[in-house]
């Protein structure tokens, strides 16, 4: 059984629930690789082989070892049953079209991990918010972006079916971490001549809710604006 564990939902972030509701220590019990953000939407988190990296909105990347750090939203898994892939001319267009089609990912959750040199890359990093928290959509309006050229590292993240677009980012949600651990963030666009790695299809999504969090239980989700808001805040550029 290949399981993807998700704590919190994008719907919660849209409803301004940015308080951390799971500790990093608890999260890592459910996976050794993953993506997320810290309390207050503080940066972009990438977990690779149990090592946790957080890019803050200055662009600086931290290696996080404090297991009491909390997150409002994160997805993790323990890699298994991976299929090796070797891709040429890699970008979001390739991943969105031929990759999803060739491996028939459109209706399932999947993980993807690719390594290689990117000729061009653009990431964005969410800036930390203070109470009273804004919604994810408001935060998304003013997020710093960081371009690079000719940088080697790891593209990692998840694919989610369109029907789950109110809960998590529909389609690809990928981060990039450079091999020197100095550059990391939410991937907006990239180009690479060649990348190799693996993907994995999940049988099951374990969607966990912070049911004992009073703010979460009390908050109202505006379902009408939810999907549009998520598309605007979690999308990539091509």
Residues 33/49, Cβ–Cβ less than 8 Å: yes
184, burial (CB in 10 Å: exposed 0-12, middle 13-18, buried 19+): buried
* Binding-residue pattern over the window 94 to 123 for a second copy, x denoting contact by CB under 8 A: ----------x-xxxx--------------
Residues 76/33, Cβ–Cβ less than 8 Å: yes
Of 60 and 217, which has the nearer Cβ to a second copy?
217
Residue 72 Cβ vs a second copy, minimum distance, rounded to whole Å: 13
Of 138 and 206, which has the nearer Cβ to a second copy?
206
Q: Which of 227, 177, 166, 197 is nearest to 44 (CA)?
A: 177
Q: From CA 156, how far away is CA 1, in angstroms rounded?
A: 21
Q: Which of 82, 209, 231, 235 binds a second copy (CB under 8 A)?
A: 209
Q: Does 80 bind a second copy (CB under 8 A)?
A: no
Of 180 and 222, which has the nearer Cβ to a second copy?
222
- 197: helix, strand or coil: strand
User: What is the DSSP-derived secondary structure letter of residue 181?
Assistant: S
Q: Which of 26, 39, 51, 206 binds a second copy (CB under 8 A)?
A: 206
Cβ of 120: how many Cβ atoms within 10 Å? Answer: 14
* Binding-residue pattern over the window 8 to 27 for a second copy, x denoting contact by CB under 8 A: -x-xx--x------------
Find tokens 């953000």 and name the residue: 37
Number of residues that bind a second copy (CB under 8 A): 34
- Would you state the structure tokens that stand for residue 88, as one six-digit string? 């040429």
Of 109 and 156, which has the nearer Cβ to a second copy?
109
Q: Does 203 bind a second copy (CB under 8 A)?
A: yes
Find tokens 């990117």 and name the residue: 118
- Binders in 35-54 for a second copy, by CB under 8 A: none
Q: Does 216 bind a second copy (CB under 8 A)?
A: yes
Q: Which of 205, 229, 233, 234 binds a second copy (CB under 8 A)?
A: 205
- Would you state the structure tokens that stand for residue 115, as one six-digit string? 């390594």
Q: Which sign, positive or negative, has the C-alpha torsion 192, 194, 200, 201?
A: positive
Give the CA distances from residue 78 to residues 1, 50, 118, 119, in Å, rounded to whole numbers and listed in that order: 11, 10, 26, 30
Q: Which of 146, 221, 231, 235 binds a second copy (CB under 8 A)?
A: 221
Q: Which sign, positive or negative, has the C-alpha torsion 233, 126, 158, 173?
A: positive
* Binding-residue pattern over the window 159 to 198 for a second copy, x denoting contact by CB under 8 A: --xxxxxxx-------------------------------
Residue 171 Cβ vs a second copy, minimum distance, rounded to whole Å: 11
Q: Where do contacts with a second copy occur on this chain (CB under 8 A)?
A: 9, 11-12, 15, 104, 106-109, 161-167, 201-209, 211, 216-221, 223, 226
């Amino acid at each position: 059984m290949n399981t993807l564990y998700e704590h919190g939902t994008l719907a919660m972030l849209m409803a301004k629930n940015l308080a951390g509701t799971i500790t990093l220590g608890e999260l890592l019990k459910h996976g050794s690789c993953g993506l997320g953000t810290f309390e207050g939407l503080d940066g972009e988190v990438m977990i690779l082989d149990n090592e946790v990296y957080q890019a803050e909105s200055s662009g600086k990347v931290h290696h996080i070892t404090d297991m009491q750090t909390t997150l409002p939203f994160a997805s993790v898994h323990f890699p298994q049953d991976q299929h090796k892939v070797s891709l040429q001319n890699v970008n979001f267009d390739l991943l969105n079209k031929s990759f999803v089609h060739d491996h028939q990912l459109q209706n399932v959750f999947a993980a993807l991990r690719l390594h290689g040199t990117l000729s061009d890359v653009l990431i964005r990093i969410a800036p930390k918010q203070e109470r009273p928290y804004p919604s994810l959509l408001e935060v998304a309006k003013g997020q710093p972006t960081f371009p690079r050229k000719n940088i080697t590292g790891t593209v990692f993240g998840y694919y989610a079916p369109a029907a789950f677009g109110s809960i998590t980012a529909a389609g690809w949600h990928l981060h990039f971490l450079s091999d020197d651990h100095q550059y990391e963030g939410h991937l907006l666009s990239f180009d690479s001549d060649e990348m190799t790695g693996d993907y994995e299809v999940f049988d099951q999504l374990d969607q966990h809710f912070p049911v004992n969090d009073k703010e979460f239980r009390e908050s109202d989700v505006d379902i009408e604006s939810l999907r549009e808001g998520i598309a605007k805040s979690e999308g990539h550029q091509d």
